[in-house]
Amino acid sequence: MLKTFISLCKDVIVLLIALTASLFARSFIRDGQIGVDLYSVFRHFILFVPIICISVLFFLIFGLFVRHVLYKRRRLIQHILMAGAGTFIGGIVWFYLFPLDPE
């Protein structure tokens, strides 16, 4: 149980770091100007954090933090594809409910 929790925390931290880095990289060069638009970064960060939660939820549902699933290759691929599909559909629903405003 503790190892599952630690794995889950590590994954969430890595996903948040990747999200932050990609948002800063996206915001760095905008409209031919170099600079970081912190408002845009913060706004997108707030919208994408629930996607990370949805992703982790599907990882938990399909047992991607359980050791016996991780050791069986055929089962692992199946579970990764199902979790990815669930995250994809959850993301579509999330952004349909809360679309980004045009700037």
pLDDT tens track, the chain, 103 positions: 788 888 888 888 998 899 888 888 877 766 666 777 777 788 888 888 888 999 999 998 988 887 777 677 778 888 899 999 999 999 999 888 887 665 5
Whole-number pLDDT of residue 67: 76
Residue type, 68: H
- The answer to whether the beta carbons of residues 34 and 28 sit under 8 Å apart is yes
- The answer to whether the beta carbons of residues 19 and 45 sit under 8 Å apart is yes
Whole-number pLDDT of residue 32: 65
Whole-number pLDDT of residue 42: 84
